Copies of this chain bind each other. A is one copy, B any other.
Amino acid sequence: MAVAASDDVKLLGVRPSPYVIRVEMALKLKSVEYEFIETDPHNKNELLLQANPVHKKIPVLIHGNRPICESLVIVQYIDDFWGDGPSILPSDPYQRAKARFWATYVDDKLLPLFKELKEVKEKGAGKAIIEKMTEKLALLEEAFVSSCGKEKGFFGGDDVSYVDIVLGCYLGWMRAIEILMDVKFFDETSTPGLLAWAERLCSDSIVKDVIPSTQKLVDLARVKASSE
């Protein structure tokens, strides 16, 4: 049975998972109402196991009675299904390809380093990882500046779109790690474009509410570290 725009939308997830944030950003951009169903990924309930039997992971979007899994698949589904809202992927094929290219770059090149970094327990030990991340971010800075300049806009132009979502879901955690490990991911010298972009994204009226507060994440990480 086909689904209709009016069918219920449920999001299974937990805050502040970056992959869940991606889906929430996309739903906000399209002004889709949804019910957030808190779903513990470490203690999987029946609904999660039924909705995502292959990976048994969050996020899952349930639209009507149809589950959709994997954050980027969900974001593209939202863009396809609610096609008349603001576009998440540009309509021009070449611009779409560029957005997909940089989204893949973030997921394949940057996020594995980010995951490694979260496992580092001492401030000094992450230096080599940070250096690699800085190299990767420098290329992203070039792409960002060449497409919209340092001073304004987002990856796809004037509005938040695909690459902003894919990278932006990590902003809260990146800022928290900056404090916890006394490092800098974005700065005035090497990544002025991304530094200003991050500010704009975190104060964007549509998505700012789903980006978790840096202080909350810092507190969460400290509680977790002290309980290990």
List residues of chain B with CB within 8 A of the CB of A74: 97
Query: In whole angstroms, how far apart are the Cα atoms of A10 and B81 in the complex?
Result: 33
Contact B101 A69 (CB under 8 A): yes
A139 contacts the other chain (CB 8 A) = yes
Contact A100 B73 (CB under 8 A): yes
Query: In whole angstroms, how far apart are the Cα atoms of A76 and B69 in the complex?
Result: 20
The one of B63, B81, B101 in contact with A73, judged by C-beta atoms closer than 8 angstroms, is: B101
Segment 60-99 of A: residues with Cβ below 8 Å from B:
63, 66, 68-70, 72-74, 76-77, 80-81, 92-94, 96-97
The one of B2, B76, B80, B93 in contact with A81, judged by C-beta atoms closer than 8 angstroms, is: B93
Give the interface residue-count category, chain A. 20 to 34
Segment 160-197 of A: residues with Cβ below 8 Å from B:
none
List residues of chain B with CB within 8 A of the CB of A96: 76-77, 80
With both chains docked as a complex, state the minimum distance between the C-beta of A19 and any C-beta of chain B, in angstroms: 13
List residues of chain B with CB within 8 A of the CB of A73: 97, 100-101, 104
With both chains docked as a complex, state the minimum distance between the C-beta of A62 and any C-beta of chain B, in angstroms: 12
- With both beta carbons as reference points, the residue of chain B lying nearest to A97 in the complex is identified as B77
Contact A70 B3 (CB under 8 A): no
Query: In whole angstroms, how far apart are the Cα atoms of A97 and B73 in the complex?
Result: 6
A105 contacts the other chain (CB 8 A) = yes
With both chains docked as a complex, state the minimum distance between the C-beta of A46 and any C-beta of chain B, in angstroms: 20
Contact A66 B54 (CB under 8 A): no
With both chains docked as a complex, state the minimum distance between the C-beta of A10 and any C-beta of chain B, in angstroms: 15
List residues of chain B with CB within 8 A of the CB of A66: 94
With both chains docked as a complex, state the minimum distance between the C-beta of A82 and any C-beta of chain B, in angstroms: 9
List residues of chain B with CB within 8 A of the CB of A2: 92, 94
Contact B104 A70 (CB under 8 A): yes
List residues of chain B with CB within 8 A of the CB of A93: 77, 80-81
Query: In whole angstroms, how far apart are the Cα atoms of A105 and B52 in the complex?
Result: 13
Contact A3 B81 (CB under 8 A): no
Query: In whole angstroms, how far apart are the Cα atoms of A93 and B85 in the complex?
Result: 15
Interface residues of A (CB under 8 A from B): 2-3, 54, 63, 66, 68-70, 72-74, 76-77, 80-81, 92-94, 96-97, 100-101, 104-105, 139
- Ranked 3 nearest A-B pairs via Cβ: A80-B93, A77-B97, A81-B93
